[in-house]
């Protein structure tokens, strides 16, 4: 049986019997642990005492209204923002504050933004190879060989010598994913990776992300793609006003939410399961 069908069958069986499947990776220490995380922008509370854990090999999707703190949490995870309270631990160690140590942490986490952030004057191959060469000190030939393999992984080996201007939005985002993977991260962070794409190219990017999930990559995904969250995530967290409104497996969040506001939010999106 196809692994995805088998997993879906098991989940449906558990739902029908009232049983709850164990959370993926729950038998190991969490990869990321958020303890009472607080982030302020002046008087605005972007994150209000958020406590959360991400397990190894887990795909966690963060959903909720725009401006509810989802992207801010990702930026705090990658130390692009400083906290005003609480702490974030990576493999049991609090995130550092010294710049030299921060750079080392960022090497362990790949981040894909809404905008592609590719270097326009470099080919797709060079965009992917640059990080390993300049940051990891990898030899050029080795880095380019790895970059080509990663472009093939995201379905773009034939576009290796193309410049970003000659790639579609979906292709550019796939190059950005390959570039993040080139650093061999332990965790991948996706900040609404399909929000700037045409509807026709969204599926290209989501399919690459689905493949990474099937390979066991630990992923945190901020998304408005509810179908992706429902089908691919192991754990879904609903945010509102900088706080966690509800969290649980997709079967709970999308089929049997325990909080009325979650039902309202999904209803406004036209979600009907």
Q: Which residues contact 251 (CB under 8 A, 6 or more apart)?
A: 11, 14, 15
pLDDT of residue 269: 85
pLDDT of residue 22: 82
pLDDT of residue 115: 87
pLDDT of residue 16: 42
How many Å from the N-terminal Cα to the C-terminal Cα in the chain? 24
Query: What is the DSSP-derived secondary structure letter of residue 205?
Result: H
In this predicted model, what pLDDT tens digit does every residue of 152-173 receive, in sequence order?
Answer: 999 999 999 999 999 999 999 9
Query: Does position 18 have pLDDT exceeding 60, yes or no?
Result: no
Indicate the average pLDDT of the chain: 90
How many Å is the Cα radius of gyration of the chain? 19
DSSP lists the bridge partners of residue 45 as: 40
Q: Which among 33, 84, 19, 28 has a CA at the least distance from the CA of 56?
A: 28
Which pLDDT band, with edges at 50, 70 and 90, does 20 fall under? low
In this predicted model, what pLDDT tens digit does every residue of 85-97 receive, in sequence order?
Answer: 999 999 999 999 9
pLDDT of residue 5: 38
- Using alpha carbons only, give the angle 215, 164, 224 rounded to the nearest 5 degrees: 50
Query: Does position 19 have pLDDT exceeding 70, yes or no?
Result: no
Q: Which spans in the chain are helix H? A: 3-17, 70-77, 99-107, 124-134, 140-153, 169-181, 199-214, 226-232, 250, 260-268
Query: Does position 47 have pLDDT exceeding 60, yes or no?
Result: yes
Instruction: Please tell me the distance from the alpha carbon of residue 85 to that of residue 128, in angstroms, as a whole number.
Output: 36
Tokens of 209: 């992300």
Count of CB atoms situated within 10 Å of the CB of 50: 23
Beta strands in 79-185 (DSSP E): 85-90, 93-94, 109-112
Mean pLDDT confidence for 113-120? 90
Which pLDDT band, with edges at 50, 70 and 90, does 268 fall under? confident
């Amino acid at each position: 049986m196809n692994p995805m069908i088998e997993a879906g069958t098991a989940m449906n069986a558990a739902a029908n019997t009232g049983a709850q499947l164990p959370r993926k990776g729950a038998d190991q220490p969490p990869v990321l642990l958020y303890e009472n995380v607080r982030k302020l922008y002046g008087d605005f509370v972007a994150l209000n005492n958020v406590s959360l854990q991400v397990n190894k090999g887990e795909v966690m999707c963060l959903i909720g209204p725009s401006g509810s703190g989802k992207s801010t949490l990702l930026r705090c995870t990658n130390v692009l923002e400083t906290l005003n309270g609480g702490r974030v631990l990576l493999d049991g160690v609090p995130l550092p504050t010294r710049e030299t140590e921060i750079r080392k942490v960022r090497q362990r986490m790949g981040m894909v933004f809404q905008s592609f952030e590719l270097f326009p004057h470099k080919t797709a191959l060079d965009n992917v190879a640059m990080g390993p060469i300049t940051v990891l000190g990898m030899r050029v030939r080795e880095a380019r060989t790895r970059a080509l393999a990663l472009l093939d992984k995201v379905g773009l080996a034939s576009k290796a010598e193309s410049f970003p201007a000659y790639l579609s939005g979906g292709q550019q985002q796939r190059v950005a994913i390959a570039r993040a993977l080139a650093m061999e991260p332990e965790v991948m962070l996706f900040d609404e990776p399909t929000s700037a794409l045409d509807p026709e190219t969204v599926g290209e990017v989501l399919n690459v992300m689905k493949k990474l999930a099937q390979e066991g990559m630990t992923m945190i995904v901020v998304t408005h793609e509810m179908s992706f969250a429902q089908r691919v995530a192991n754990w879904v967290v609903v945010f509102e006003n900088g706080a966690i409104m509800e969290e649980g497996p997709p079967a709970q969040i999308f089929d049997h939410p325990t909080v009325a506001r979650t039902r309202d939010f999904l209803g406004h999106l036209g979600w009907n399961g």
